Amino acid sequence: MKPDRLTLLRDLVAFDTTSRHSNLALIDYVQDYLTGLGVDSELVFDETGSKANLYATIGPDNIGGVMLSGHTDVVPIDGQNWHSDPFTLTEKDALYFGRGTADMKGFIACVLAEVPRMTSLALKSPVHIALSYDEEVGCLGVRRLIETLSGAPVLPRMAIIGEPTAMQVVCAHKGKRAFRVSVGGRSAHSAYPTDGVNAIEYAVDLIARIRQLQADIRVHGPFDQAYRVPNTTLHVGTIRGGSALNIVPESCVFEFEIRHLPEQDVDALVDEITDYASETLLPAMQAADPDTAITIESLTRYPGLATGRDEPVIGFVQSLLGGDRSTEKISFGSEAGLFKGELGIPGVVCGPGSIQQAHRPDEFVAIEQLGICAGMLGRLVDGLCESSLPA
Ligand SMILES: [Zn+2]
């Protein structure tokens, strides 16, 4: 007797796979489950061997099929006020509560629960299962899987990334760049500020430039009204600097991010910021002290997703869901942009649960949502038995 969807979800939630921890216990559990069903899987480890991606193909291995992709890590519960144990699946009012239920162990449980049917039927095109680590900290883990896949003789033809979209078909999302800026000035007694170089004040000048760029974009675009926030956004999220009011601060560090429309020329935007630092601010600082510096370090980046409306994957997934489903665009990112950008695999984002519940205390997925997802996957398997994928 193989575990059902509920048992799988309960077991998956019980693994504390917060990104800072190993995900190997969960990966071992999934690998054992697949092995028990006669499915081989490959693990792609991180450099320390403490985390792994899992990749498996069910069905013919000489042609590409549909990849079902999810990340195994979850965001921390630190500082969150939960009404139940985040790592114990708890049912209330037809909702399953627990960390990762929406983002995105609910999807993974639905996929795994469908594997017995995938193996017992004769699929004409395969299903690929791709589980990653460290998605929540910048889509890091999947890059190793992508590297491995880039040498594979056969690649998936299309991908469904099961991030929580309330089972809407998402064909586009924004990309992201994140940076840390370190301004190194010179300290001095604050009674003699001209003896120093005030790192906080130069940092603020650069932040003002970032805000100016944001203001320009808000007026001039580009815009895409299909997004809730219809333009690229720039935002400063953290800042630290100074040690005492009567000392000219020697150091200031801040972090900012750009969440950009796929069609935005984000390199040009980054150049505007780095050029302003190196051509306007730095000469002024170094006129006072040549040892001062501004360093801008890239923290993470992932591309946006813009799956063309004519890509077969969109109509294919819409048909699996039945009814008249429009496509949507979302502002949060996923691994779909990397699969498309690095491997050319077109994909959509579609999974159970809502992003409104993700990353929050009392995260939940509605049982109804899991049912819709299971229905989609069931029709996917039926469809792959009847005929191979649309060209
Ligand atoms: Zn997610």
Q: Give the dihedral of Cα atoms 284, 218, 297, 288; nearest 10 deg.
A: 10
Distance from the alpha carbon of residue 6 to the mean position of ligand 1, in angstroms: 20
Same domain as 266, residue 334 = no
Q: What is the 3-state secondary structure (H, E, C) of 171-192?
A: EEECEEEEEEEEEECECCECCC
* Domain contains 23: yes
Give yes or no: 135 in active site: yes
Taking residues 39-50, what's their average pLDDT?
Answer: 97
Q: Which tokens belong to 14?
A: 């019980």
* Domain contains 112: yes
Taking residues 319-323, what's their average pLDDT?
Answer: 87
pLDDT of residue 1: 57
Taking residues 124-139, what's their average pLDDT?
Answer: 94
Distance from the alpha carbon of residue 189 to the mean position of ligand 1, in angstroms: 48
Please report where in the chains the tokens 């949060």 appear, as a residue. Answer: 332
Domain end (from 302, 323, 339): 302
Taking residues 214-221, what's their average pLDDT?
Answer: 96
The proportion of the chain whose per-residue pLDDT surpasses 90, expressed as a percent, equals 90
Same domain as 217, residue 167 = no
Better-scored residue on pLDDT, 391 or 104: 104
Domain end (from 257, 285, 302): 302
Flag whether pLDDT at 71 surpasses 80. Answer: yes
Distance from the alpha carbon of residue 134 to the mean position of ligand 1, in angstroms: 10
Residue closest to 127 by CA, chosen among 158, 94, 168: 158
* Domain contains 353: yes
At 333-391, the pLDDT tens digits run 899 999 999 999 999 999 999 999 999 999 999 999 999 999 999 999 999 998 877 66
Same domain as 347, residue 256 = no
User: Where in the sequence is the domain holding 244, given as residue range(s)?
Assistant: 175-302
pLDDT of residue 386: 87
Same domain as 266, residue 369 = no
Same domain as 293, residue 158 = no
Flag whether pLDDT at 2 surpasses 80. Answer: no
Distance from the alpha carbon of residue 135 to the mean position of ligand 1, in angstroms: 7
C-beta of residue 44 within 8 angstroms of C-beta of residue 145: yes
Q: What is the 3-state secondary structure (H, E, C) of 92-160?
A: ECCEEECCCHHHHHHHHHHHHHHHHHHHHCCCCCCEEEEEECCCCCCCCCHHHHHHHHHCCCCCCCEEE
d(CA 150, CA 155): 8
pLDDT of residue 390: 67
How many domains does one find in the chain? Answer: 2
Same domain as 99, residue 14 = yes
Strand order in the sheet with 90-92: 90-92, 95-97, 364-366
Taking residues 107-131, what's their average pLDDT?
Answer: 97
Distance from the alpha carbon of residue 71 to the mean position of ligand 1, in angstroms: 7
Better-scored residue on pLDDT, 63 or 323: 63
* Domain contains 391: no
Cβ burial, residue 251 (10 Å; 0-12/13-18/19+):
middle
Distance from the alpha carbon of residue 102 to the mean position of ligand 1, in angstroms: 8
Same domain as 295, residue 309 = no
Distance from the alpha carbon of residue 351 to the mean position of ligand 1, in angstroms: 10
C-beta of residue 68 within 8 angstroms of C-beta of residue 130: yes
Flag whether pLDDT at 143 surpasses 80. Answer: yes
d(CA 75, CA 358): 9
pLDDT of residue 324: 67
Q: Say which residues have a Cβ less than 8 Å from residue 265's Cβ, sequence separation at least 6.
A: none
Same domain as 282, residue 341 = no
* E strand map for the chain: 41-45, 52-58, 66-71, 90-92, 95-97, 127-132, 158-161, 169-173, 175-184, 233-241, 251-260, 293-302, 305-306, 327-330, 347-349, 364-366
Cα dihedral 128, 134, 136, 138 sign: negative
Catalytic residue among 16, 73, 103, 335: 73
C-beta of residue 56 within 8 angstroms of C-beta of residue 156: no
Taking residues 24-39, what's their average pLDDT?
Answer: 97
pLDDT of residue 388: 75
Same domain as 259, residue 167 = no
At 169-191, the pLDDT tens digits run 999 999 999 999 999 999 999 99
* Domain contains 346: yes
Catalytic residue among 135, 163, 362, 363: 135
CATH number of the domain at 16, please: 3.40.630.10
Of 31-45, 82-96, 289-303, 327-341, least confident by mean pLDDT is: 327-341
Flag whether pLDDT at 3 surpasses 90. Answer: no
* Domain contains 209: yes
pLDDT of residue 387: 80
Taking residues 17-22, what's their average pLDDT?
Answer: 96
DSSP 279: I
Domain end (from 302, 325, 348): 302
| Mean pLDDT, rounded, of the chain | 95
Flag whether pLDDT at 79 surpasses 80. Answer: yes
* Domain contains 261: yes
* Domain contains 42: yes
pLDDT of residue 391: 60
Same domain as 179, residue 55 = no
Same domain as 146, residue 36 = yes
pLDDT of residue 326: 80
CATH number of the domain at 186, please: 3.30.70.360
Same domain as 235, residue 330 = no
Of 98-112, 209-223, 300-314, least confident by mean pLDDT is: 300-314
